[in-house]
Amino acid sequence: MKRVFLTGKFLAFALIMIAVFCFGQSESIIRATEDWPTYIDPAVGSDFSDCIAIVNLYDSLVFPNADGSVGPHLATHWDVTPDGLTWTFYLRQGVKFHSGNELTAEDVVFSVERLLTMGEGFAYMFEPFIDEVVALDPYTVQFKMKKPYGPFLSTLVRLYILEKDLVLQHLDSGPYGEFGDYGRKWLLEHDAGSGPYMVEEVKMEEYVLTKKFDDWWGGWEPNAPEYFKEMATADPVTIRTLVAKKELEITDELQPMESYEAMAKMPGVEVVRFVPGGMNLNLMLHTRKPPTDDVHFRRALAYAVDYKTIANIIFPGSLVARGPVPQTLPGHDSSIQPWEFNLDKAREELKKSKYYGQLDEYPLTLSWCAEVPEEEKIALMLQANFARIGVKLEITKKPFGSMIADAQNMETTPNCSLVFVAAHYMEAGGMLTTRYHSQSTGTWEQCEWLLNPEIDQMIEDALSTIDTEERFNKYHAIQQKLVELCPTIWLIDRAETRAYQASYVSWFVADLVHQGKKIALPLGYGLYAHDMKVFPEKK
């Protein structure tokens, strides 16, 4: 009898626990989707998926505003010497890491050194410029620069601060001497941050579940989500089903337009569309592989693209690209005209190419990203248009992971790669560096293998220029030079489309869209869960 009673109690307890767990999650959670891999280590991750998780888990010295400017965050204020070589940041006091320990200047120094030593993720932004970082006192940190760095403040939104002691407790064997693997293995599934959310669970290839950090220094508004979950699925049928069942609050931006149309008809669901601060779709052309190593051949292809169909029908709301830098990004050269769709001009350029007359011997290869179904439409359209000028295009659908692997090697990179690229910080210089500086070859962000010392030098020179106007003029010159070299066919400045549960979620991005305001947030910040609200009772 006692056993039955105990069993009954146990069952009741289990049921309550299950109910609490399930209710707890469904009560106040924002679930968003994005494609895997998601590297939550701020010294490793840099793509859209990584950034969404990182901005929620970690704090940076400064924080981006929706208009593209930056404001204080961990640093309350800062000084810079007139020569631009010494920056001093004064840290907010009483900021706690998720472990409960206080964030100090030592942690900032450690985070910078870790990033620069590992040399991945956003390290490229700082490595050529930062000479030394010193903690002057627990709340003051000083950056000494090798050379002036114009957009330094804008780039600091990408410098995330980790807790030194916690990382040091979790070192594994690795290539970094006394620091072993610098905590890389542990940070794959854990965080060492002070951000508004902390890792609850990471299930590889499935999701990153984070929980609200109640002691976050910035405080909380009522109805802020208790949980934020980034889910690794992009399958359109799954996404639509989840949205219909109200098990997904904000979709990714990779869905077919037909899917968004279907979701817009679901009760309580709203589809928002906006041109974010700097994302463009590129047809990257391998400049070291025949026949795309010929500039005339590349220009011929550029004339054989129907840009308006891409901007108006395939990705509605987008702008036809005008050069390598998105038009919404500060530093864009507005004098650059878009390429026109003109098959006669394409044929003329083709005649000037050294491959003219032997086009059959040089079929082009193109990879498109399996996670973005709409890219197939562009690929097939290019195939049809290129065929009209006698160029054969072989299309391959590749998972993003395979495209990353292919891009690592000059031989395996295809002639053409359809790739979306987003600005890591809100200035043209960042995008020009990740896209065309020789240091970014071998990554998915530069499948062109441009390796042009003149462009490298121009980019470095521009970045070292402190005066904004002068720096922007230098960015303009780089863009004009790139248009001349035509290493890429810049297709569109992409409008981002997402569906969200407007009936019970308040999402600041949707509010800005409704108010008709400009949205120039760096990658990932559109899903900053701290600034969202959930009203489960309205479900």
For other proteins, the closer CB: 162 or 310? 310
Contact between residue 538 and residue 28 where contact means Cβ atoms under 8 Å apart: no
Contacts of 48 (CB under 8 A, 6+ apart): 34, 422, 523, 524
Residues in contact with other proteins, total (CB under 8 A)?
25
Contact between residue 203 and residue 40 where contact means Cβ atoms under 8 Å apart: no
Report the run of H or E that residue 467 belongs to, with start and end.
none
Answer yes or no whether residue 235 interacts with other proteins by CB under 8 A: yes
Answer yes or no whether residue 379 interacts with other proteins by CB under 8 A: yes
Answer yes or no whether residue 402 interacts with other proteins by CB under 8 A: no
Answer yes or no whether residue 313 interacts with other proteins by CB under 8 A: yes
Backbone angles phi, psi at 6, to 5 degrees: -65, -40
Piece in contact with other proteins (CB under 8 A), picked from 43-51, 84-92, 190-198, 375-383: 375-383
Q: What is the largest CA-CA distance in the chain?
A: 94
Kindly state the smallest distance separating residue 245's Cβ from other proteins, in Å. Answer: 15
Contact between residue 30 and residue 529 where contact means Cβ atoms under 8 Å apart: yes
The alpha carbon dihedral of 108, 114, 116, 117 has a sign of positive
Among 383, 440, 443, 506, binds other proteins (CB under 8 A): 383
Residue 17, judged by CB atoms within 10 A of its CB (0-12, 13-18, 19+), counts as: exposed
Contact between residue 353 and residue 300 where contact means Cβ atoms under 8 Å apart: yes
Please give the distance of CA 305 from its chain centroid, rounded to a whole number. 26
Instruction: Kindly state the tokens that stand for 115.
Output: 């990033």
Among 70, 109, 329, 395, binds other proteins (CB under 8 A): 395
For other proteins, the closer CB: 413 or 464? 413
Contacts of 111 (CB under 8 A, 6+ apart): 42, 43, 159, 160, 161, 162, 164
Footprint on residues 422-451 left by other proteins (CB under 8 A): none
d(C-alpha 72, C-alpha 78), whole Å: 9
Answer yes or no whether residue 131 interacts with other proteins by CB under 8 A: no
Kindly state the smallest distance separating residue 236's Cβ from other proteins, in Å. Answer: 4
Kindly state the smallest distance separating residue 313's Cβ from other proteins, in Å. Answer: 5
Contact between residue 526 and residue 509 where contact means Cβ atoms under 8 Å apart: yes
Kindly state the smallest distance separating residue 237's Cβ from other proteins, in Å. Answer: 6
DSSP 8-state assignment for residue 538: G
Piece in contact with other proteins (CB under 8 A), picked from 34-42, 296-304, 379-387, 481-489: 379-387
DSSP 8-state assignment for residue 249: S
Kindly state the smallest distance separating residue 82's Cβ from other proteins, in Å. Answer: 56
Footprint on residues 243-302 left by other proteins (CB under 8 A): 256, 258-259, 262
Answer yes or no whether residue 370 interacts with other proteins by CB under 8 A: yes
Answer yes or no whether residue 414 interacts with other proteins by CB under 8 A: no
Kindly state the smallest distance separating residue 385's Cβ from other proteins, in Å. Answer: 8
Among 381, 410, 466, 495, binds other proteins (CB under 8 A): 381
Among 68, 195, 373, 429, binds other proteins (CB under 8 A): 373
Among 396, 438, 440, 443, binds other proteins (CB under 8 A): 396
Among 1, 5, 100, 237, binds other proteins (CB under 8 A): 237
Kindly state the smallest distance separating residue 278's Cβ from other proteins, in Å. Answer: 27
For other proteins, the closer CB: 118 or 263? 263
Kindly state the smallest distance separating residue 435's Cβ from other proteins, in Å. Answer: 27
Kindly state the smallest distance separating residue 3's Cβ from other proteins, in Å. Answer: 47
For other proteins, the closer CB: 396 or 480? 396
Contact between residue 229 and residue 207 where contact means Cβ atoms under 8 Å apart: yes
Instruction: Kindly state the tokens that stand for 227.
Output: 């949980």
Contact between residue 488 and residue 323 where contact means Cβ atoms under 8 Å apart: no
Answer yes or no whether residue 150 interacts with other proteins by CB under 8 A: no
Among 45, 195, 236, 487, binds other proteins (CB under 8 A): 236
DSSP per position, 423-459: -SSSSHHHHHHHHHSGGGTTSTT--S----HHHHHHH
Answer yes or no whether residue 377 interacts with other proteins by CB under 8 A: yes
The contact set with other proteins (CB under 8 A) reads: 235-237, 256, 258-259, 262, 309, 313-314, 370, 373, 376-377, 379-381, 383-384, 387, 393-397
